[in-house]
Amino acid sequence: MSGPVGRLAGKAVLVTGAGQGVGRGIALALAKEGAAVGLAGRTVAKCAAVAEEIGAVGGSAIPIACDVTVRADVEAAVAAVVGAYGGLDAVVNNAATSLQRPVAELTDTDVDDCWRSNALGTLYGMQAALPHLRARGGGVVVNFGSSTAIDGDALFGGYAMAKEAVRGLSRVAAREWGRYGIRVNVVVPNALSPAAEEFRDAHPERFAQMAARLSLRRVGDPEADIGRAVVALVGDDLAYLTADTLMLTGGHR
């Protein structure tokens, strides 16, 4: 396994939703610390572009077509990483779908879309990764929550249901899998996703007001702020942290 020499040299990691935004930032941060990265996403061309970025800095990555709502796709993505790199040390279940609609207007389809891409997609990734993490003698699962769910932001009812389910699932898995040396944690990010960039460009004043409400007065960078924290979770820096939620929100309040 080749790549930059870093804290994660020799490790293989699967990142879902890796073709853009937070997933791309996480993948770049992991690769720059030496991890070999499987880049899974519904639009494989975007993942291929990120793989090229990683290759340009001397890292190793493979693009993988994957819809996390389809269990077979997730299992195939895990198998692709294991086949390419000889094992799996961590899975980062980042891929997600969100929508905004008042609770009174939520449909079964709305809830199902959020549930399948968030809660079920995360479950599929965890289950597919488990035997390979155990084979390594331990490993790391990084799942994703949302401040919209924790705070109960209006219009995010369907999304909040799914994201809080992810946090509950993660706590249970951490307790069940700790005996195998597997750590399971949740990251709650506030970063410049493609949707956040669109909002910034369309409503610069409102975006500036939103950023000003953060303690650090800025929206996070996907690689430097979120990706570097995931590097710490995947590596040894946070080796005693499990069953917990890491709030990377810049002091959101």
β-strands 12-16, 36-41: how paired?
A: parallel
β-strands 182-189, 244-248: how paired?
A: parallel
| 16 closest CA partner among 93, 84, 127 | 93
Catalytic residue at 159? Answer: yes
| 167 closest CA partner among 150, 184, 186 | 186
Taking the C-alpha atoms of residue 72 and residue 11, their distance in angstroms, rounded to an integer, is: 24
Buried b / exposed e over 231-242, threshold 16 CB at 10 Å, is bbbbbeebeeeb
| 249 closest CA partner among 189, 185, 160, 164 | 189
| 39 closest CA partner among 75, 8, 80, 99 | 80
Catalytic residue among 85, 124, 159, 180: 159
| 145 closest CA partner among 107, 119, 175, 124 | 119
229 within 8 A of 191, measured Cβ to Cβ: no
User: What is the CB neighbour count within 10 angstroms for residue 253?
Assistant: 9
181 within 8 A of 132, measured Cβ to Cβ: no
Q: What are phi and psi of 214, to 5 degrees?
A: -80, 145
Query: For residue 74, which amino acid is it?
Result: V
Taking the C-alpha atoms of residue 1 and residue 35, their distance in angstroms, rounded to an integer, is: 9
- Give the active site residues: 159
